[in-house]
Amino acid sequence: MTTATSPSKTKKRRAARATFRSAEPRLLHAADLHVGDSRNLPGYLERQQQALAELTRLSIEQQVDVALYAGDIYDSKYMRPREKDMFLQWLLANDRAADKHDFDVIIEAGNHDEIEDGYTHLHGLKILQDHGTLRRTEIVVNPRVLGPYKDRIYVAAVPAGAYPNETLNQAVTTMRRTLDMKVEQAGQNPDGIYFVAMLHEGIYGATNEAGTYRVTKGPRLDPDAPVTYWALGDIHKPFQQMLPNAWYPGSPIQHDFGDATAERGALLVNLDAPTEPTPLIVQGVRPLVTLHDVPEQWPDAIIRFVGTPDEIAAAQLPEQVVKLRPTVDDVQVRPRTTDDPFEQLDDVMRGMGIPTPFHEPVKAAIQAAL
């Protein structure tokens, strides 16, 4: 029979753990999980599950006080049941780990989490919190100031689209001023607190990983705002700095082959030095790699091979090569010289990256169906 732990024993247990905890006020800052993305990749959900488990491990290993997840938890409104189940299992397991190792978790909604106007996937998860199932996790669907954590850390969690661009800085500053008054009324000095603003927004000037896109219509952060650290989400490029104390962690894993950098994860933030967060790299997740030549040994990765159709056909590609892309120079369509409708089909299939040995069976199948 399981015996419930008494509140006094729980407090003693947490006090004992606090003895060994670093005195630095520490955050794990993650974002853009996009659970359910990359369905075209083999083992896509297992990769995401591994990344989530790594974020829990890093939270424990780094002895953080609070773990922040700054939006875009899910990839779209059209989630498959097993994708939602996988995240739910992690959410519960992570909450148990947070309770055992004495840290708190804040998860806010991003634009990809929206199901319909004013309602997100996280509204469903918040039911677990409201009924007491989650002991150390806050699910945020509306702007709120949370805390104090460890007596002095406050987090203004602002989900995607909560405020117009032009009023965002004012809204965050108002949250801080209101908090200061409450802290003073409680007989404490507001100068001794840490105030973190967690936003899911494309901030003006942010860029994607390839450098082909720059946010030009997003809000501009006020460098003079009374914010210790801006914990940002929405941009997938890893470890991007917007102000000395404003950072994007980027997505914790590659979601497609356009995410060239495999070194990804989360940020460890010491609130006593918020301009110098430390990248924490997620381990054990198979990277996405683009190759232009046949290597001597194929890497343990999910691979996109780029070459001419003849190179692709001759490469003897292993099973982890999941995307074939012919080089543009090789895709040429010859003028038709006869009325044979199959004359240019070889060119079309080359353009699609279909290896030459498969051309005749494809044409035979089409002819049989006519």
Q: Does residue 188 carry a pLDDT above 90?
A: no
Band the pLDDT of 167: cuts 50, 70, 90.
very high
CB 74 within 8 A of CB 121: yes
Q: Which residue is listed with tokens 């999910």?
A: 302
pLDDT at 331: 41
Give Rg (Cα) of the chain: 25
pLDDT band at residue 4 using 50, 70 and 90 as cut-offs: very low
Q: Where are the domains of the chain?
A: 22-281, 288-369
Report the relative pairing of strands 119-120 and 137-140 from DSSP bridges.
unpaired
Question: Cα(304)–Cα(278) distance, rounded to whole angstroms?
Answer: 31
pLDDT digits (tens, 9 = 90+) for 262-274: 999 999 999 999 9
d(CA 300, CA 293): 16
Percent of the chain with pLDDT over 70: 84
Q: Give per-residue pLDDT as tens, 347-361.
A: 556 545 565 566 677
DSSP collapsed to 3 states, the chain:
CCCCCCHHHHHHHHHHHHHHCCCCCEEEEECCCCECCCCCCCCHHHHHHHHHHHHHHHHHHCCCCEEEEECCCECCCCCCHHHHHHHHHHHHHHHHHHHHHCCEEEEECCHHHEEECCEEHHHHHHHHHHCCCCCCEEEECCCEEEEEECCCEEEEEECCCCCCHHHHHHHHHHHHHHHHHHHHHCCCCHHHCEEEEEEECCCCCCECCCCCCECCCCCCCCCCCCCCEEEEECCCCCCEEEECCEEECCCCCCCCCCCCCCCCEEEEEECCCCCCCEEEECCCCCCEEEECCCCCCCCCCEEEEEECHHHHHHCCCCCCEEEEEECHHHCCCCCCCCCCCCCCHHHHHHHCCCCHHHHHHHHHHHHHHC
Backbone angles phi, psi at 68, to 5 degrees: -105, 135
pLDDT in the model for residue 293: 85
Mean pLDDT for 309-320 is 79
Whole-angstrom distance, CA of residue 231 vs CA of residue 169: 14
Distance CA 185, CA 192 (A): 14
Pick the CATH number of 22-281 from 3.30.390.50, 3.40.50.2300, 3.60.21.10, 2.40.50.140: 3.60.21.10
* pLDDT tens digits, one per residue of 193-221: 999 999 999 999 999 887 778 999 899 99
Q: Residue 324 CA to chain centroid, in angstroms?
A: 26
